Amino acid sequence: MRSVEVAVIGFGLAGSVFHAPLIAAQPRMRVAAVVTGSAERAESARRAYPGVRIVPDTDALFADPGGIDLVVIASPNRTHAPLALRAVRAGIATVVDKPFALSAKEARTMAAAARETGVPLSVFQNRRWDNDFLTVRDLLDSGRLGSVRRFESRFERWRPVSKGSWREIGAAEEGAGVLFDLGPHLVDQAYALFGPVDSVYCELDRRRAEVRTDDDAFVALTHTNGVRSHLWASAVTPLLGPRFRVLGSEAGFVCHGLDPQENALRAGRAPGEPGWGTGESVRHGTLGTENQTSPHPLRAGDYPAFYTAMAAAVLDDAPVPVTPEDAVATTDILAAARRSAADRQTIRL
């Protein structure tokens, strides 16, 4: 059985923790190359993936792809669009870590290039396979909530002093700040559940003196179907709110905490091992109305499903797991959010 030969560009947190282990766990894929200029990261890649080809920079990779079938771009945000265009135009299937692009123009150019070349292009929206998100989707499909009126979603942290990473202290032009870091997940999930958006309102704040861009964000979306999504992303939340609160005409659903897969990957656990996606115990949400509620178990999360689908896209001409068109829509919404915050007004799309 032929495997997809994968080159991972960047071997920091995203490349080494979130992408490479999931790729290695997919039977139809192999981590064939890692692009890094760091001797320490190169040695780490060799230990984790014996026989991996270490490439010093992207110029060297594209000069000699060496049978690479798929490029995964896990480099700093500002490089995502230029590298994705380079890969797609070279005829190589591509996965881009979020954010897909830093501007709507970049996103449209990337999607157009994929259409013109017929090359599979996707964005790593792994949070579509969180256990709580999968549970909410099931509840919507079953009709148990009735007609949904409001969707609330939060990615909040309590980090009163910045860790000093570029994602926190860099400039917005580099893709730093919570809107570019956590916003793509929040917006993509809302869009995946409730579809196109008519209007966007956003508040962005810089609460810590040492950061240069937003570390506290609120985004309100009005979907074409009438659902309102309220989304929070913050590094300065001393008491965390619910991860999801979904309010329908028949019932509501609320859950707290985070899907365990990120922590499992950080701890070096193998994706797909027994108990994967549930953690030490099954999380529960609460389903019902004010006078009658009951615990509702959450489904197991399934990050490995992303690269299973990507392998099928490359080898079997199947659809990519997240389409470029969805990525363009998310980028449009994030761009409108930034304009809304700057102009202090609601932006119509």
Domain 127-303+332-348 has CATH 3.30.360.10: yes
Q: Under a CB-based contact definition with an 8 Å cutoff, are residues 300 and 273 in contact? A: no
Three-state SS string over the chain comes to CCCEEEEEECCCHHHHHHHHHHHHHCCCEEEEEEECCCHHHHHHHHHHCCCCEEECCHHHHHHCCCCCCEEEECCCHHHHHHHHHHHHHCCCEEEEECCCCCCHHHHHHHHHHHHHHCCCEEEECHHHHCHHHHHHHHHHHHCCCCCEEEEEEEEECECCCCCCCHHHHCCHHHCCCHHHHCHHHHHHHHHHHHCCEEEEEEEEECCCCCCCCCCEEEEEEEECCCCEEEEEEECECCCCCCCEEEEECCCEEEECCCCCHHHHHHCCCCCCCCCCCCCCCCCEEEEEECCEEEEEECCCCCCHHHHHHHHHHHHHCCCCCCCHHHHHHHHHHHHHHHHHHHHCCCEEC
Q: Under a CB-based contact definition with an 8 Å cutoff, are residues 101 and 110 in contact? A: yes
pLDDT given for residue 278 in this prediction: 84
**Right CATH for 4-126+306-317 from 3.40.50.720, 3.40.50.300, 3.30.465.10, 3.40.605.10:** 3.40.50.720
Query: What mean pLDDT is predicted for residues 114-126?
Result: 98
pLDDT given for residue 227 in this prediction: 98
Q: Under a CB-based contact definition with an 8 Å cutoff, are residues 283 and 321 in contact? A: no
Burial label, 261 (beta-carbon count in 10 A; 0-12, 13-18, 19+): buried
Residues paired with residue 236 on neighbouring β-strands, in sequence order = 158
Closest CA to 96 of 15, 192, 212: 15
pLDDT averaged over every residue in the chain: 95
pLDDT given for residue 266 in this prediction: 95
**Beta-carbon-side half-sphere exposure of residue 31 (alpha carbons within 13 Å):** 27
Split at pLDDT 50, 70, 90, the class of 95 is: very high
Q: Under a CB-based contact definition with an 8 Å cutoff, are residues 92 and 120 in contact? A: no
pLDDT given for residue 146 in this prediction: 98
User: 281 vs 109, which has greater pLDDT?
Assistant: 109
pLDDT given for residue 282 in this prediction: 67
Q: Is the pLDDT at 102 greater than 80, yes or no?
A: yes
For the chain, give every domain's residue range. 4-126+306-317, 127-303+332-348
* pLDDT (tens digit per residue) in 292-326: 999 999 999 999 999 999 999 999 999 999 999 99
Query: What mean pLDDT is predicted for residues 20-34?
Result: 97
Query: What mean pLDDT is predicted for residues 244-259?
Result: 97
Closest CA to 37 of 20, 55, 62, 53: 55
Q: b vs e for 217-256, b when ≥16 Cβ sit within 10 Å of the residue's Cβ?
A: bbbbbbbeeebbbbbbbbbbbeebebbbbbbbeebbbbbb
* pLDDT (tens digit per residue) in 177-206: 999 999 999 999 999 999 999 999 999 999
* pLDDT (tens digit per residue) in 258-282: 999 999 999 999 998 888 988 666 6
pLDDT given for residue 176 in this prediction: 85
Query: What mean pLDDT is predicted for residues 99-120?
Result: 97
The pair of structure tokens assigned to 40 is 């320490």
What percentage of the chain exceeds 90 in pLDDT?
91
